[in-house]
Structure 1
Amino acid sequence: MKKILITAIIALICGTISAQNTLSNQFGSSASGTDRDGFDRNGNPIDTTAVNDASTIPIGLTSWKIDARFGNRTEVPVDTLQHGFQNTNDTGGPYGHYTYLGNLGAPRIAHVYFDRKDASQFFFFDPYDYTVLQPQDVTYTNTKSPFVNLTYYKQGSSRDGEERFKAYFAVNANKRLGFGFNIDYVYGRGKYAHQSTALFNGNLFAYYLGDKYNMHFSFINDNLKVAENGGITDDRYVSAPIDMAEGGRTYANSEIPTNLTDIWNHNTGYHAFLTHRYNLGFYRDNPNENDTLVTQVFVPVTSFMHTLKVDIAKRKYISQNEEQNQEYFLNNFLPDVERDKTDYLAVKNTFGISLREGFNKWAKAGLTAFISHELRQFTMTDTITGTPGQRIPTKYTENVISVGGQLIKEQGKMFHYNVTGEFALIGEDAGAFSVEGNGNMNFRLFNDTVRLEANAFIKNQNPTFYYRHFHSKHYWWDNNDLSKMMRTRIEGKLSIDRWRTQLKAGVENITNYTYLDNTSVVTGGEEGSETSASFLNNVGVAQHSGSIQVFSASLRQDFKVGILHLDNEVTYQTSSNQDILPLPKLTLYHNLYLSFGLAKKVLEVEMGADVRYFTEYYAPDYAPAIGQFYLQNKETRYKLGNYPLLNGYINLHLKRTRIFLMMYNLIQGRGAHSYFLAPHYPLNPRLFKIGISWNFFD
């Protein structure tokens, strides 16, 4: 199978390069780069209202995403980016904002606090936001001819290497109806024992954009299987390998002993999403004099909206080596059960009515009112014994009815805003509320475009279900007295394109911060111990009744002199309680490279090196039996960080084909905690990576 795949890839490269020579006059060549702010946490293009470069994208090809509540559209660029392509497969994020377990596709958590998202109801998917899609992440495409993107990443051998394959297809039945699919498969075998990942995400989408009726539909499937090794038994196998060899040969990575074997977390999910609306309005003459084909346009006045979201998810924890693994965990609540599991079902309906913006000169903003109902069901294994060898599951059912409204202004060139509020009237979350707002203003200053953006929210949140109840083989809690979390944030951003400058700052206050704590029982070892075998692992939920403040400021400043470029990002952040919410003070990203064209600029080249760095802090530990990050044990905790992760790369862009070559972790440093982002989980050593992506517009 592998030989066939490699042969197909080589043939496809040759065919693509040949075809591009004959089609270049039709489609043109790609731009040499784009704004560094063009990636999201998964390495995909972020939401933006920027118009696609006509020299890169064929006429008639546009893409957009929608918001999951109302189905409003936001245009996004078609994925033809060259700049930063080498970082689109980095589990740590394009700029190194994430702590993760080293392997491709491993669980991760943002160590830049403002990059963290709210915990979802089925929070087992949250550490895999690298590949797991939500309805608002699905990209819809309108195209005059079929559009295909194929991307393949490769590193290492069939024994310990990693691969990722992504495919995107979009086609239109007519100018109003389109559909397509997306496939994303991640396979990280792992440099260390028992840490393999196999992550599959696939989705189907369809849309209809009529004058009076609009519809967007998506169906997403997730299948995530991850081996858990509990980290290596002693960090010195990596940080001081000569000492551990006792005068003999050093250990190969795959030979380093790990805390756990034969343990897997297996999460599956099926997500159906439908948002549609019916518009009442009128037709008037087309104000665009350049568009001679359309004489009249439809002006919506009122919209009636409905959104349906159905989530079905299952988690299985599989342990097949109880004798050895029990030495790691404090408790075994289900000694006769090899697999514990939990199931989740949620059905949410939202109905709304909207008075649309811009139908006359007095309608300067749109106004929407909505009501929603959500049914949530959770099933968990329990200690109540049924027939011999089986357990009777416990089922929890929650219902929530909420109301809310939105005030939005999207039209015009200078000023835009969006304010949305929601209040839970009835059910498990009764009394919870949120008010979120964002706005931006664009104006000219010294022949340049300046953008001011602001966003703010206040949220009174009920901790998600699995913080309140969780039953499993090794962790067990029922917290019926948790208070609601109150969070208030305000953030602003200034962007000046000509100066290549972006400055962002924000502050958040959190009351009743709820988190996963380390309740391990220490059996030996001292503070700063490098081995996780000094305590029996246990996790619980804790809530800090006081307030915690987080301040963050980030500066992105890029420089260019001829073909020499230097991109920089510096993020400073501080937490008022580092014991409960530890954060690194500084997070840095720097990228020094040459960018130039060859063969009359048909072949565009970027070559350079980038570095990621964060200062020392008490990085979160990882709980393999629940697949979540949590606080380190205070009696054995130690700081991680202060290690520059340096990568060298070459990016090539030949019309519609992009290729990168990278040498990862160039310095492969030594030290007390050499290249660890999370306790006892080392990064991959120095290695070579390659990636290739093709776009087909016909």
Structure 2
Amino acid sequence: MRKIIFTTILILFCVNSFAQNMMQSQYGSSASGLNSDRFDRNGNPIDTTAVNDASTIPVGLSSWTIDERFGNKTTVPVDTLLFGFQNSNDNGGPTGHYTYLGNLGSPRISHVFFERAETTQEFFTDPYDFALITPSKLIYTNTKSPFTNLTYYKHGAGKRSEERFKAYFAVNANKRLGFGFNIDYIYGRGKYMNQSTAQFNGNLFAYYHGDKYDMHFSLINDNIKVTENGGIVDDRYITHPLDMADGGREYKSYEIQTNLQDIWNKNTGYHAFLTHRYNLGFYKDETSENDTIVREVFVPVTSFIHTVKVDMNKRQYISYDDNQNREYFENHYLGTDSTDVTKYMSVKNTVGISLREGFNKWAKAGLTAFLSFEHRRFSMTDSIEGSAGQFMRDYKENTLSVGGQLIKSQGKTLHYDVLGEIAILGEDIGQFNIEGKGDLNFRLFNDTVRLDVNAYVKNVNPAFYYRHFHSKHYWWDNNLSMINRTKIEGKLSIDHWRTQLQAGVENITNYTYLDNVSVGYADQNNEDVKTYNNNVAVKQNPGSIQVFSAKLRQDFQLGILHLDNEVVYQKSSNNNVLPLPELVLYHNLYLRAKLAKKVLSVELGADVRYFTQYYAPDYAPAIGQFYLQNPETKYKLGGYPLVNAYINLHLKRTRFFLMMYNLVQGTGERSYFFAPHYPLNPRGLKLGLSWNFFD
């Protein structure tokens, strides 16, 4: 870990020095201002009290993301937030919305249903969204001087510590061409036995912004290796520790036996993405509001768009199949010495023509028509123990779809984006998607009110690995129906009151999920009945399931005293198939002040994460996915307040925090399990340091 950090810092220092000299020769020493953005990456209003003064962000620095279909830009804030840094590395999310296995970098799934992403063709890496970057999440930066960020997190010390190191670098070759890279290394040694995680992810990016030609490119590599321990053998080591060892002592977390050993899941992925467009238009003279200088500005009228996305992933399940592991799984299709590997590759091309918004007073919205073709190939084991041999079988799928988009993004009052797409040929024929979102901004009692609405109707072909999967312990080939989803959701935001109210409802037909189909068996003397922990099958619920959700965010302030609150209420119409906690809560009480002549910003407080008891999803280590608990042994989890106390400091370009994690570490029935048999990490000290370099 120290070698990686030192090498990265040395490389960044050398590149930064070279780039600074190059930038000075290109730009000189002057700088021009940029428009600021008042909304975060999710489109929510930014609390302006929680961002740096303009003086802390150099003039000429801006950031944005792009959408994967057309390459449209969305401005995002530069990463210089004063507050909330202590929650930026929380595997459970900044407000604790995720079930996870305790360790940093472990798989996770949201308690809040509306935050769960749809299952993708990259099935095995879906639960690792905590660290993985996709082209739509990658941040591009335009900067007059080289920009570098180094961030380091640590939890605990010694052989059981968790560490994360991130490095981000961006530079411009000239006013139109920029590039950079991002490195993210996670090493969670694990507070419990056989629990380590190791992730090394990185990406390169480049862009070019010309009047007639525009381009964004990224190359992403992700490497994930997770040790699977199947959870602890007896929850009483956590819930009732004095019952163990006849009350003689309490076991340390790393002394507690686990169900599995010598088992790993390993994923390696490569993702190349290119979106570019050629614009037809005209030049016109324009005068800025602050001066009388006339500038020639290009106005695009029509754009020809091409986007190509290539994804490759190799997933390998490694198991030294000893007796302990054999008892954990019901089926062993491939025998002891076998290769359990599956590979995925996809190439998707999208071409479109767009009539651009705003090129004259009649063009109030932009209109785009597009066509997409995707080729997918999957390889997996296709033999059963005792057969002639083990071999790899290829599955090939092709899909051709057409669609259109109507969008209005300019102006201050009303914005909307309506998109429709339907598959007309290939594996996904009949799949369609109609979705729309919009926002209305208006004045009310001398304040700005924002009303957001989004809705969709979808008919979705289940992901390939729901339909076919062959492996060491699970084997299925399913003929599944299309999943139909209908949703409408609205959000009301009032900045001055620090209030957000959000509510929505979704109906799902043919809901597709992973179920536990473990069966009981008797031992040789028919005296003891055991139940396998881990046998998985794909199921569809033929009827409809409705989910209602409402969320209130309300923050209060009295001088330097702050109280931030978030309450989520949700209800599932079928808790046997789709169990959800009815309440998910987050509260943060803290003091916020500026010291040392208002140069040092300090935040001192404690926050709590809580969700009501429910049949939380179990975890299947052989495929790294969450699934329903065994109905014969299921039990409820939740009702435990996870409390963290912290101090967060910000001095110019440096952020630092100290946190005492799991402060009220408790025992009893409501103990610190989020997933069955996977306890959270015990009480420990966390720290984080982030340093920005702007020159």
TM range (shorter): over 0.9
Q: Secondary structure at the match of 1:244?
A: helix
* Mapping 1:345-494, distance limit 5 Å: 345-383=345-383, 391-480=390-479, 482-494=480-492
Counterpart Cα distance in 1 of 2:145 and 2:349: 35
Counterpart Cα distance in 2 of 1:152 and 1:127: 23
Q: RMSD value over aligned CA atoms? A: 2.4
Which letter maps to 2:518?
Answer: S
Aligned to 1:177: 177
* Mapping 1:174-573, distance limit 5 Å: 174-290=174-290, 295-383=295-383, 391-480=390-479, 482-523=480-521, 534-573=531-570
Deviation at 1:447, TM superposition (A): 1.3
Structure 1 window deviating more from structure 2 (61-70 vs 80-89): it is 80-89
Which letter maps to 2:451?
Answer: L
Counterpart Cα distance in 1 of 2:404 and 2:147: 37
Counterpart Cα distance in 2 of 1:578 and 1:682: 23
Aligned to 1:600: 597
Aligned to 1:127: 127
Q: Secondary structure at the match of 1:159?
A: helix
Q: Summarize the Cα distance change of 1:87–1:343 in structure 2 as closer, same or farther, 3 Å threshold.
A: same
Deviation at 1:156, TM superposition (A): 1.5
Which letter maps to 1:492?
Answer: G
Deviation at 1:386, TM superposition (A): 12
Counterpart Cα distance in 2 of 1:385 and 1:243: 43
Aligned to 1:628: 625
Identity, in percent, stands at 70
Counterpart Cα distance in 1 of 2:164 and 2:503: 35
Q: Secondary structure at the match of 1:137?
A: coil
The answer as to whether partners of 2:5 and 2:165 remain within 8 angstroms in 1 is no
Deviation at 1:391, TM superposition (A): 1.9
Counterpart Cα distance in 2 of 1:478 and 1:275: 36
Counterpart Cα distance in 2 of 1:216 and 1:3: 32
Q: Summarize the Cα distance change of 1:280–1:537 in structure 2 as closer, same or farther, 3 Å threshold.
A: same
Q: Summarize the Cα distance change of 1:585–1:48 in structure 2 as closer, same or farther, 3 Å threshold.
A: closer
The answer as to whether partners of 1:47 and 1:65 remain within 8 angstroms in 2 is no
Structure 1 window deviating more from structure 2 (445-454 vs 566-575): it is 445-454
**Residue from 630, 637, 641 that aligns with 1:644:** 641
Deviation at 1:548, TM superposition (A): 0.2
Task: Count residues with an aligned counterpart.
Answer: 664
**Residue from 685, 691, 695 that aligns with 2:692:** 695
Aligned to 1:77: 77
The answer as to whether partners of 1:48 and 1:77 remain within 8 angstroms in 2 is no
The answer as to whether partners of 1:235 and 1:673 remain within 8 angstroms in 2 is no
Deviation at 1:211, TM superposition (A): 0.2
Deviation at 1:293, TM superposition (A): 6.2
Which letter maps to 1:589?
Answer: Y
Counterpart Cα distance in 2 of 1:386 and 1:283: 73
Q: Summarize the Cα distance change of 1:136–1:57 in structure 2 as closer, same or farther, 3 Å threshold.
A: same
Deviation at 1:56, TM superposition (A): 2.8
- Partner deviation per Cα, 1:161-181 (whole Å, 9 max, x = no partner): 100001100000000000000
Counterpart Cα distance in 1 of 2:5 and 2:96: 31
Which letter maps to 1:474?
Answer: H
Deviation at 1:249, TM superposition (A): 2.0
Counterpart Cα distance in 2 of 1:322 and 1:275: 49
Deviation at 1:336, TM superposition (A): 4.1
Counterpart Cα distance in 2 of 1:403 and 1:510: 24
Counterpart Cα distance in 2 of 1:267 and 1:627: 11
Aligned to 2:26: none
Deviation at 1:294, TM superposition (A): 6.0
The answer as to whether partners of 2:594 and 2:602 remain within 8 angstroms in 1 is yes
Aligned to 1:41: none
The answer as to whether partners of 1:384 and 1:392 remain within 8 angstroms in 2 is no
Counterpart Cα distance in 2 of 1:418 and 1:263: 46
Q: Secondary structure at the match of 2:237?
A: helix
- Partner deviation per Cα, 1:331-366 (whole Å, 9 max, x = no partner): 000004343010000000000000000001000000
Q: Summarize the Cα distance change of 1:232–1:691 in structure 2 as closer, same or farther, 3 Å threshold.
A: same
Deviation at 1:286, TM superposition (A): 1.3
Counterpart Cα distance in 2 of 1:502 and 1:215: 36
Q: Summarize the Cα distance change of 1:173–1:637 in structure 2 as closer, same or farther, 3 Å threshold.
A: same
Alignment TM-score, normalising by the size of structure 1? 0.92
Deviation at 1:392, TM superposition (A): 0.9
Q: Summarize the Cα distance change of 1:385–1:573 in structure 2 as closer, same or farther, 3 Å threshold.
A: closer
Counterpart Cα distance in 1 of 2:552 and 2:521: 45
Q: Summarize the Cα distance change of 1:75–1:8 in structure 2 as closer, same or farther, 3 Å threshold.
A: closer
Deviation at 1:48, TM superposition (A): 6.2
Deviation at 1:289, TM superposition (A): 4.1
Counterpart Cα distance in 1 of 2:292 and 2:162: 53
Counterpart Cα distance in 1 of 2:509 and 2:55: 51
- Partner deviation per Cα, 1:65-113 (whole Å, 9 max, x = no partner): 0000000000000101121110000000000000000111110000100
Deviation at 1:536, TM superposition (A): 4.6
Q: Secondary structure at the match of 1:191?
A: coil
- Partner deviation per Cα, 1:613-645 (whole Å, 9 max, x = no partner): 000000000000000000001111000000000
Aligned to 1:154: 154
Aligned to 1:166: 166
Which letter maps to 2:396?
Answer: T
The answer as to whether partners of 1:486 and 1:510 remain within 8 angstroms in 2 is yes
Deviation at 1:650, TM superposition (A): 0.2
Q: Summarize the Cα distance change of 1:608–1:6 in structure 2 as closer, same or farther, 3 Å threshold.
A: farther
Which letter maps to 2:611?
Answer: F
Deviation at 1:322, TM superposition (A): 2.8
Counterpart Cα distance in 2 of 1:544 and 1:387: 34
Aligned to 1:678: 675
Deviation at 1:246, TM superposition (A): 1.1
Deviation at 1:244, TM superposition (A): 1.2
Which letter maps to 1:423?
Answer: I
- Partner deviation per Cα, 1:27-74 (whole Å, 9 max, x = no partner): 9xxxxxx99x95xxxxxx645687985233111000000000000000
Structure 1 window deviating more from structure 2 (238-247 vs 208-217): it is 238-247
Aligned to 1:528: none
The answer as to whether partners of 1:156 and 1:162 remain within 8 angstroms in 2 is yes
Deviation at 1:593, TM superposition (A): 0.1
* Alignment pair present for 1:616 and 2:613: yes
- Partner deviation per Cα, 1:651-695 (whole Å, 9 max, x = no partner): 000011000000000000111241000000000010000000001
Deviation at 1:375, TM superposition (A): 0.2
Aligned to 1:577: 574
Q: Secondary structure at the match of 1:193?
A: coil
Counterpart Cα distance in 1 of 2:327 and 2:227: 18
Counterpart Cα distance in 2 of 1:339 and 1:103: 27
The answer as to whether partners of 1:47 and 1:74 remain within 8 angstroms in 2 is no
Q: Summarize the Cα distance change of 1:524–1:291 in structure 2 as closer, same or farther, 3 Å threshold.
A: farther
Counterpart Cα distance in 2 of 1:520 and 1:304: 54
Deviation at 1:455, TM superposition (A): 0.4
Which letter maps to 2:286?
Answer: N
- Partner deviation per Cα, 1:232-273 (whole Å, 9 max, x = no partner): 011001111110121322221111111100000000100000
- Partner deviation per Cα, 1:385-440 (whole Å, 9 max, x = no partner): 8998x621011000000000000000111000000110000011000000110000
Counterpart Cα distance in 2 of 1:97 and 1:229: 24
Deviation at 1:3, TM superposition (A): 8.9
Counterpart Cα distance in 1 of 2:90 and 2:545: 31
Q: Summarize the Cα distance change of 1:292–1:309 in structure 2 as closer, same or farther, 3 Å threshold.
A: farther
Q: Summarize the Cα distance change of 1:630–1:293 in structure 2 as closer, same or farther, 3 Å threshold.
A: farther
Counterpart Cα distance in 2 of 1:684 and 1:177: 45
Q: Secondary structure at the match of 2:665?
A: coil
